[in-house]
Structures are given as C-alpha cells and as structure tokens.
Amino acid sequence: MHFDLHIGEGANAVVNYILDHFTPALNFIATVIGFVTDTIKAALTGIPMPVAVIVIVALALWRVSWKFALFSLLALLVIVDMGLWERTMETLSLVLAATVIAIVVGIPLGIAMAKSRIVTVLVRPVLDLMQTMPAFVYLIPAAMFFGLGAVPGTIATVIFAMPPVVRLTNLGIRQVNGEFIEAGLAFGCTARQLLLKVQMPNALPSIMAGINQTIMLSLSMVVIASMIGAGGLGNIVLTGIQRLDVGTGFEGGLAVTVLAVILDRITQSLGQRNTAFSFGRFFGARANRGEVPSSATPPAKT
Amino acid sequence: MDRETASSIGEDTQPEVKISVDRVFKIFGDRSDTAMRMVREGRGKEEIHAETGCTLGVNDASFDIHAGEIFVIMGLSGSGKSTLLRLINRLIEPTSGAIRVDGQDITKMSKRELIELRRRDMSMVFQSFALLPNLTVLENAAFGLEVAGVPAAERQAKALAALEGVGLGAYAASRPDQLSGGMKQRVGLARALASEPTVLLMDEAFSALDPLIRTEMQDELLRLQSEHSRTIIFVSHDLDEAMRIGDRIAIMQHGNVVQVGTPDEIVMNPANDYVRSFFRNVDVSNVFKAGDIARETQVTLIERKGVAVAAALERMRRHDREVAIVVGRDKRYHGMVSAESLAQAARAGEADPYHKAFLTEVEPIEAAEPLSNVMGRVAESRWPVPVVDERQRYVGSISKSALLMTLDRTTT
Ligand SMILES: Nc1ncnc2c1ncn2[C@@H]1O[C@H](COP(=O)(O)OP(=O)(O)OP(=O)(O)O)[C@@H](O)[C@H]1O
Ligand SMILES: [Mg+2]
C-alpha cells in the first residue's frame, strides 16, 4: 500500500497562502528587521577602523586578559591586512542584528516556557524543528517572502540561532534555587516581582550562556545567509568557492573564525561577575548593575 | 503524679491565641481527593502512598500558637515539619482545614490578601539563608520592604537599623558571599525583622551552622525576643535546641502532631516511645527545674497559735518521718524541723517552739532553679531540701532518692 500525504504540496500551498494573504504583515516584519539591521550596520561601518579595534581590544583586556587582548589586536590587524575589515563589520552587524532579535523574541518565550507547561509542550518541538531543519529549506521561502538582501538573511539566521537563548532562559529560570523562590514569595512578591527581582537575576548566567551560543550559531550561518544576498564575509567565502580560489576562501574563513573567537570569549566573560583586571573593578562595579540587555550587545553600543 | 507537678507550673492567665491550626491536612500528589478519602477512612500513610502515589505530608493537625511565644516544631526528617511551617504562610496550600491568624482564616484569603499578610505580618528565615547573591547585604535586608513598595530612603534606614540590631551594620555594602555562615544568617534574621512582622517562621534556621555559632544565634534570637516579643515558629530536628529556646514544642511523627506541650511536659510525659526516644541522650538536669521534681511527700505542720507541739510530733511519728516542714496558713514556708529539735524546744518550754526548732542548715531552693544548679546541694544535704515558689510558698521537697530516680530514668 502506498499513502501519499502530499506534504510537499501542502508546504507549497501554505507558502502561497501566506504570500497572498499576509503581505502587510510580511512588510511590517521586513520593515522592523530591516530597521534593526540597517541601524546596527550603519553604526558599525560608521566607526573608524582604529577606534573599533581599540574598543574591541579594550573590552578583551577588561573582561578577559591581557594575553587575549594581545591576540585580539594581532588578529584584527590580520583582518585589516587582508582587506576584509568592511566585510567583517558587515558580518558582525548581521550577527548582532540576529542576536538582538533572537534575544527580544527568545527571552520572553523562554520565560513563558518556564512559567507554563502548555507553552513548553507547544514550543519545544518548534525549537527542535528550527535547529534540525536544514537551513537551505527555509532560505527559499524567506527569499520569497522578503526578497533578497540582509532581511531574509537575518531571518534565516534568527531561526537557526534562536533556540539556545530560549532553551537556556527556560532552563535558567527553572533552575533558580527553590529557597530563593520561597524567600521571594514569603516576603510578599507578586508573580512579576518574583520574575524581575529573583528569577531573572539568578538565571542570568544561564541566559548569558544562551546568548553566547546564539551568537556562535549566527556566525555559522554567515556563508549560507550570503547566498540570499546578506553580504559580509560570506560573500568572500562564496567567491572563493565559485572561483575555486582556495586562498580567497581561506581568508574569508579565517576572518569568520577570528570574529567567532573574539565574540565567544568576550560574551562568555559577560556572564561572569568578576573581571580579569583589577583596575577594571571600577568599571566592573558599574557594569554589574544593569546587566541583562545592555551587556548582551556591548560592541553595538560603543 | 508527674502530671500534677507539671501542670501546676505557669498556669496564670489564659494566653492570647495568635495562630490557630484547625484540622489541617496536606496531601502531596495529583490524586489528593482519593487520598483524602482514604485518610478519612483511617488508612495509613504507607498504604495511601502505595495506592495513590500521594504523600501524606500533614495529617489532621490541630493546635494553637500563643502570641509572643517561641513555638518549636520538632521531629525526624520527613515527619512534615517544613510542610507544616509552610502551611502557615501558605507557601504550601493546605488540602483541607483552616489556619487562623489573628482570627482570620488564611486558607480563604485571596492572592492579594495573602501577599499583604506576608508583607505585613509574617516573614521567614531559611536553613540555607536564601540571601539573594546579586544584592548587597543592605539590599537583602531591605528586600521585604522593597517588595512592599516602601520608598528607598525609608527602607534603607529600616534595613540598616535591622542590620545594626544583629550587629552587622558595618557590612551593609558587602555581598552575601563575603560573609561567614553565622553572619549570613544574621542577615537572614535582619531581613525577616526589617518589616517588623508579628510572626516569624524559621525553618531549621540554625541547623547549617556549627555548634558554637548555633548556640550564639539561639542566644541572639532570645535576646531579640526579649527586646521585642514576636510569635516565633521554629522548626528544628534537634531536641537540645528545642528545649533551649522553645516555650512550647510540637512533636511530629509521620505527618501527625503527636504531642504539644512545654519542654517539661514533654520530658515528663512523653506521649509515646517515639517522643521518648528523643531524649535518650539529652542532659535532663538542664531541662528540669527544681520545682519539677519537688514532691509533697513530707509532713507539713501549719504554724498556728495555741497548737500543741505534741500533736505535731505524733503526726511525724505516725508518718515515720524524721523531719517536717513548717508553713504558715498561707502555705508560706517558715522552716524545717526535725522530731528531735522540736521535742527539745518543747521540753525547754519555749514560747515559740517551732522557731527555736528550725534546722539552721536547711535553706529552701527556688522552684525555678535549674536542676543542674541545685544537684550538689541536694546530694550533700542530710535532709530532703524544701522547694519554694517565687512567693516563698512551699511547693514540695527534693530527696536524694527522688533526684537519683530522675537522673536514672532519663539515661536508660
Ligand atoms: N513538594 C512535595 N511533593 C511531594 N512530597 C513532598 C513535597 N514536600 C514534602 N514532601 C513529602 O512530605 C513529607 C514531609 O516533608 P517535610 O519536608 O515537611 O519534612 P521535614 O520534617 O521538614 O523533614 P526534614 O527534616 O528532612 O526537612 C516527606 O515525606 C516528603 O517527602
Ligand atoms: Mg524540613
């Protein structure tokens, strides 16, 4: 016996239906995401290269160690030497835009999962799907909905990179010490106060780990996103592949790796309370106060 | 005979009831309805667990907690102490029953009312301190006030005062992880006291501290209690701690409250072997007071004008006693006489034979003296030692044999 459920046809129908009936919604999403990506891109590419290098090296020195700061300096100079600075900033802005959107959507979703069993049951398979479905599959509908360019690239990146921040927000909140919760309730917290004053601050290390993973996954989407015109270092890698030019491809890949290592170490350090350098205590004390959203995207603000 | 002596202590005015726990049950698990039915049918905790998977946390608890007392809930691990404590501020919802605080049934309160009650009237101290690591010591102490919406300046002032009250004013700006265990729990106490609650719930609050610090914290609690009397409900699994600080103790076993009483009552009349098993290795001489083991087994002579000494001597002979206690008509203790000294005084034809006959070496003991303080005197005295209450009324006497029996009974 052979059953044909026509799943492929069904997917086509859904995509067409969305295209026919949800154009205003698609336009709205495109506008919002376009705004986020454009702003971040303008900000990052607008900063003179030496200033940007100094800021990144200073962050590395303050949060990680002087050895890592030295490594960052040399690695960034290599990127400049390869003539890939502009492209690197484009990629960084794509990664940061995707991360910002993943955080804005993902943290509330993670909180909702922690609070409601129904939300957990509904969202968990969707997260699995987002992480396992090959990116090429949703690249095409994304391009159909939003055209070519940075917007569909960002959306494809968000889909792939958002699950960790959702999962680790959920996990972080669920893992907050039961006595802290009891203390909060015993002193008369409302549900909202409990979330803001007890659960979120204590889930912060876990949430930061989620953000770190989201950034790493965003970087791994760089080449794929370039296929639909997201630009950045991915273009260099693609050019290398198309021309069978190993050297160009390697340079692009090296720049991505450098970016990954620097972002990884710096965002990881933001999840911890203590700073690497004693003179950094002064800044550290200030940074520790309003930690959640501001520290998640430090390079974008500087 | 024990019961009479025990209940004769401290029965002054009727104490004011602060919290009344009335037929409260708590069943953990999804099938609590079925489990509740089985409880009503009188089936045991094990059986209910086997059939429904539910745990009987608290089984039909009823007792009153008086205003201003330290009420200790004691029992072995898993006996339901923490559950019972958390029912009182409804961190755990009771399955059935009523809990009245100042006459108001908290099981019927709305969410909002409950939050108000927790902010205003009750606070809690935890075994592992539960200080929030992201806040400073001062912010931790101010936590309850902050949650209640008290303006920053006012709550900081109150929190600082509370910290100073436990001797930690200098550490206001520190982080909890910079403090030792004892200091952390002082902060926990300050946090609980900052909002000036009338009820303090303490779950094994000192159990995580080493013994020396633990005693120190108990003293601190008693000191704070003497300055400002609150109703304290204190969970402990340690009898020594319970006896030391508790005005009354409730003993729990398998979710049942098997006995409620003063430390003395519980030591002297343990409700069952489970209760008795707790003081196998407790030094009872610290628990008992002289009044607890004083017995009215001696002959008492009432000093009145014109009563012949002959009658007194005759009574002593008939009871086969060498000594007798002389009291006034108001039962006030006058002195102790021996048959010999009384006969001598009578023969000498004294006008006031009793007074001449008093044994000068015998000094009465105050009923409130801990037994450990007077053991030496009883052991050395030739005669049973008379015991008087705070108004110098005779309450009984302690003989060497009674002392030995008391010490012996509790060490076996
Ligand atoms: N949330 C819960 N869900 C299911 N069962 C529970 C829950 N909380 C407590 N219990 C069970 O209820 C019983 C009483 O537990 P409780 O924590 O009150 O004991 P305890 O006397 O405080 O013990 P300990 O000295 O170990 O703290 C135990 O059998 C425990 O397993
Ligand atoms: Mg407990």
Task: To the nearest 10°, report the CA torsion of A37, A40, A42, A44.
Answer: -140
Q: Does residue A226 carry a pLDDT above 70?
A: yes
Backbone φ, ψ for residue B103 (5° rounding): 85, -10
Task: Look at A200-204, B205-209, B370-374 and tell me which has the smallest mean pLDDT.
Answer: B370-374
Q: Does residue A1 carry a pLDDT above 70?
A: no
| DSSP, res B176 | G
pLDDT for the residue numbered B316: 87
Task: Look at B189-203, B240-254, B279-293, B309-323 and tell me which has the smallest mean pLDDT.
Answer: B279-293
Pocket-forming residues, ligand 1, beta carbon under 6 Å: B 28, 55, 57, 75, 77-83, 237
pTM (2 d.p.): 0.75
What are the pLDDT digits (tens) for B294-335?
888 888 888 877 667 888 888 888 888 889 999 888 889 999
Percentage of the residues of chain B whose pLDDT score is greater than 90: 49
Does B126 sit within 8 Å of A183, measured CB to CB?
Answer: yes
By residue count, chain A amounts to 302
Q: Which residues span the domain enclosing A114?
A: 13-274
Asked if residue A292 belongs to a domain, the reply is no
Choose between A1 and B85: higher pLDDT.
B85
Tell the residue nearest (CA) to atom 27 of ligand 1.
Answer: B77
From the list B73, B68, B69, B70, the residue with the least C-alpha distance to B58 is B73
Strands (E), B33-164: 55-66, 70-75, 96-101, 104-105, 122-125
Q: Does residue B349 carry a pLDDT above 80?
A: no
Best B106, B112, B115, B135 member to test A by mutation, with max A CBs in 10 Å, is B115
What are the pLDDT digits (tens) for B68-80?
999 999 998 889 9
Cα B44 to ligand 1 centroid, rounded to whole Å: 16
pLDDT for the residue numbered A294: 35
- Closest-approach residue (CA) in chain A for B147: A189
pLDDT for the residue numbered A278: 43
CATH class of the domain whose range is B4-121+230-282: alpha beta
Q: How is chain B split among helix, strand and coil, in percent rounded to 5?
A: 45, 25, 35
Q: Does residue B6 carry a pLDDT above 70?
A: no
Asked if residue A215 belongs to a domain, the reply is yes
* Residues B325, B396: Cα–Cα separation, whole Å: 9
* Residues B68, B66: Cα–Cα separation, whole Å: 6
- H helix intervals, B290-359: 290-293, 309-318, 339-347, 353-357
Task: Look at A100-104, A160-164, A222-226, B109-113 and tell me which has the smallest mean pLDDT.
Answer: A222-226
- H helix intervals, A64-84: 66-81
Asked if residue A296 belongs to a domain, the reply is no
Tell the residue nearest (CA) to atom 29 of ligand 1.
Answer: B78
Tell the residue nearest (CA) to atom 16 of ligand 1.
Answer: B80
What are the pLDDT digits (tens) for B10-45?
445 678 999 999 999 999 998 888 899 998 888 888
B394 torsion bin: left (phi>0), alpha (psi -120 to 50), beta (else): beta
| DSSP, res A209 | H
Contacts of A228 (CB under 8 A, 6+ apart): A139, A142, A143, A148, A149, A152, A153, A156
Instruction: Return the ∠ at Cα B112 (arms to B111 and B113), rounded to 5°.
Output: 95
**Which whole-number Å values give the CA distances from B393 to B298, B313, B357, B364, in the listed order?**
15, 23, 20, 10
What are the pLDDT digits (tens) for A111-154?
999 999 999 999 999 999 988 888 888 888 888 888 888 888 99
ipTM of the complex: 0.76
pLDDT for the residue numbered A289: 40
| Residue that the structure tokens 């993943």 belong to | A102
> What's the whole-number mean pLDDT along residues B101-118?
95
Contacts of B75 (CB under 8 A, 6+ apart): B81, B237, B251, B252, B253
Arithmetic mean of pLDDT over chain B: 88
Percentage of the residues of chain A whose pLDDT score is greater than 90: 56
- H helix intervals, chain A: 7-21, 23-46, 49-63, 66-81, 85-115, 117-132, 135-146, 150-161, 163-174, 178-186, 191-193, 200-220, 222-226, 233-242, 246-270, 281-287, 292-296, 298-301
From the list B315, B301, B291, the residue with the least C-alpha distance to B386 is B291
Contacts of B196 (CB under 8 A, 6+ apart): none
Domain ranges of chain B: 4-121+230-282, 290-411
* Residues A57, A72: Cα–Cα separation, whole Å: 6
What are the pLDDT digits (tens) for A187-220?
999 999 999 999 999 999 999 999 999 999 999 9
The minimal CB distance from A187 to the residues B116, B123, B128 is found for B123
Best B87, B121, B128, B147 member to test A by mutation, with max A CBs in 10 Å, is B147
Tell the residue nearest (CA) to atom 4 of ligand 1.
Answer: B28
Does B132 sit within 8 Å of A201, measured CB to CB?
Answer: yes
From the list B4, B2, B8, the residue with the least C-alpha distance to B269 is B2
Look at chain A and report how many structural domains it folds into. Answer: 1
pLDDT for the residue numbered B259: 94
pLDDT for the residue numbered B199: 96
Backbone φ, ψ for residue B184 (5° rounding): -60, -45
Does A185 sit within 8 Å of B118, measured CB to CB?
Answer: yes
List all residues of chain A from 126 to 185 with a beta carbon under 8 Å from chain B. Answer: 177, 179-180, 182-185
- Three-state SS sequence of A35-60: HHHHHHHHHHHHCCHHHHHHHHHHHH
pLDDT for the residue numbered A10: 86
Minimal C-alpha gap between B227 and chain A (Å): 23
What are the pLDDT digits (tens) for B273-304?
888 877 766 666 767 788 888 888 888 888 87
* Residues A216, A153: Cα–Cα separation, whole Å: 16
Percentage of the residues of chain B whose pLDDT score is greater than 70: 93
And the tokens for B228?
């400002």
pLDDT for the residue numbered A297: 36
The edge-to-edge listing of strands for the beta sheet with B231-236 is: B122-125, B199-203, B231-236, B70-75, B248-253, B256-261
* Residues A40, A104: Cα–Cα separation, whole Å: 15
CA-based torsion, A137, A141, A144, A147: positive or negative: negative
pLDDT for the residue numbered B85: 96
* Assigned architecture for domain B290-411: Roll (3.10)
> What's the whole-number mean pLDDT along residues A70-83?
94
pLDDT for the residue numbered B318: 85
Strands (E), B29-121: 55-66, 70-75, 96-101, 104-105
C-alpha B28, offset from chain centre? 30
| DSSP, res B384 | P
Q: pLDDT class for A173, splitting at 50, 70, 90?
A: very high
pLDDT for the residue numbered A274: 54
C-alpha Rg value of chain B to the nearest Å = 27
- Closest-approach residue (CA) in chain B for A204: B134
Q: Does residue A50 carry a pLDDT above 60?
A: yes
CATH (domain of A19): 1.10.3720.10
A104 interfaces chain B, CB cutoff of 8 Å? no
Decide if B386 contacts B394 (C-beta within 8 A): yes
